[in-house]
Amino acid sequence: MKKILETDRLLIREISEDDYEGLFQLHSNPIVQKYTGESPVKTISEIIKGTKERTFNDYKTYGFGRWAVILKSTDQFTGWAGLKYLTDFNEIDLGYRFLPEFWGRGIATEVSKAIIKYGFEVLNIEKIIAVAMVENIASIKVMEKAGMIFDKKAPYEEGAEDDIWYKIENKNYEND
C-alpha cells in the first residue's frame, strides 16, 4: 500500500482492496451520503466496481486520487480524502468523506491542510478547488479552515441547484 503522507494523528495512503468493507460502510450510510449528491450504495460490488474504475484508474492516470485516511492510534479506517481531476471542469478537486464516529474531531481539517500542502509542494498543482452543497455547513467550514477562499455559487451539473465553490492557488499559498 503506497503511503502518501502523514499528519500528527493520521496516515494517508492509497486505497486498496482491504478498504472495500470500510468504503461500503461509508457509502451505504444515508447520513454520510446526504450532502454528496450520491445515493447510498446497496451492495459491496458497487464499491469494488467504482474503486477499480475510478480510484485505481486515477492513481494510474494522474498519480493522485482519493486516498484512505487511517487513524494512527487505533489503525482504523476513518474514510477517504484526496484530490480528483475533474475532466468536465479541467480542475483538481479536494474531497473528503468520513464515518460519522470520526466527525467533529478536526480530522477533515487536518487532512485537508496536509493534502493542499502536498498538492502544491509535491505535485506542483497550480490550483485546488472544492465544491459543496449550500446546506453542507460542516464541509464549507472545513474549506475555510484549510485556507481556501470562496469562489462562486454555481451548479455542479447543468440544470441543478447552485453549489458553493471554494479555491486555493499555489501562487497565493502560505503554509502555516
Ligand X SMILES: CC(C)(COP(=O)(O)OP(=O)(O)OC[C@H]1O[C@@H](n2cnc3c(N)ncnc32)[C@H](O)[C@@H]1OP(=O)(O)O)[C@@H](O)C(=O)NCCC(=O)NCCS
Question: Minimum distance between the CB of residue 55 and ligand X, rounded to whole angstroms?
Answer: 16
Give the DSSP H or E segment for 33.
helix 30-33
Angle CA(26)–CA(51)–CA(127) in degrees, nearest 5? 90
Element (DSSP H or E) covering residue 12 = strand 10-14
Instruction: Mention every residue, 6+ apart, whose C-beta is less than 8 A from residue 66.
Output: 15, 55, 58, 80, 81, 82, 83, 84, 95
Backbone angles phi, psi at 7, to 5 degrees: -115, -175
Q: What letter does residue 40 receive in the DSSP assignment? A: P
Site string for ligand X, 13-52 (x = CB under 6 A): -------------------x--xx----------------
Stretch of residues binding ligand X (CB under 6 A), selected from 41-49, 54-62, 67-75, 96-104 = 96-104
Least Cβ distance, residue 48 to ligand X (angstroms): 21
In the bound complex, what is the minimum distance in angstroms from residue 173's beta carbon to ligand X? Answer: 19
Segment 105 to 134, residues that bind ligand X, using CB under 6 A: 105-109, 132
Q: Is residue 96 near ligand X by the rule CB under 6 A?
A: yes
Residue 9 or 13: which CB sits closer to ligand X? 9
| Residue 169 β-bridge partners | 127
Counting runs of H as helices and runs of E as strands, what totals does the chain give? 6, 8
Part of the chain binding ligand X (CB under 6 A), chosen from 42-50, 64-72, 118-126, 136-144: 136-144
Please, which residue, 17 or 38, has the CB nearer to ligand X?
38
The whole-angstrom separation of Cα 32 and Cα 26 is 7
Residues forming contacts to ligand X in the complex (CB under 6 A) are 32, 35-36, 96-98, 103-109, 132, 136-139, 141-142
